[in-house]
Amino acid sequence: MSSNLLKEPAMTIHPKNQRDLMLAPVAVEIDRNLRRLREGSPYDVLAELELELDRPAMSADPDERAELVLRQALRNVELHGWTATLSDDASRVHLEGGSVSLDLGLSPAITAYITEGARVTPA
């Protein structure tokens, strides 16, 4: 390994405005809300959504299922001016609103729940 690589300072992106300072706390809270949904099957995602949101999560409409996942992701999160949307392929939560944007990955189970739904009984 070259000694020059060790001496060069790492490039760091610095906040450009007040909103940028809040990106990390917003992303962490969203990630925490999604943590329990990431494990298991699409049926487990459905069951967890019903528990957390206290409403039925069985739906034939992918847009409605996406809305439920986003609602859980944003539950009790102060966005501080950031906006959150799901990616078109239902694999990421996209945050934008500052000088940068950030994508938080979902899981195959969450994506399958959104795009294909969940079976009535667990596997």
Q: What is the pTM of this model?
A: 0.85
Q: What is the pLDDT of residues 56-103, one digit of tens each?
A: 999 999 999 999 999 999 999 999 999 999 999 999 999 999 999 999
- DSSP, residue by residue, 30-98: HHHHHHHHHSS-HHHHHHHHHHHHTS----S-HHHHHHHHHHHHTTT---TT-EEEE-TTSSEEEEESS
Asked whether residue 1 carries a pLDDT value surpassing 60, the answer given is: no
In a domain, 111, yes or no: yes
The pLDDT assigned to 11 comes to: 67
In a domain, 10, yes or no: no
Asked whether residue 5 carries a pLDDT value surpassing 70, the answer given is: no
- Look at the chain and report how many structural domains it folds into: 1
In a domain, 63, yes or no: yes
In a domain, 5, yes or no: no
**Confidence band for 119, pLDDT divided at 50, 70 and 90:** confident
In a domain, 33, yes or no: yes
The pLDDT assigned to 12 comes to: 78
Residue corresponding to tokens 């992303």: 27
In a domain, 12, yes or no: no
d(CA 16, CA 107): 31
In a domain, 9, yes or no: no
Q: What is the pLDDT of residues 8-46, one digit of tens each?
A: 667 677 778 888 899 999 999 999 999 999 989 999 999
In a domain, 7, yes or no: no
The pLDDT assigned to 61 comes to: 96
Task: Tell me which residue range forms the domain holding 30.
Answer: 17-116
What is the three-class DSSP state of 96?
Answer: strand
The pLDDT assigned to 15 comes to: 77
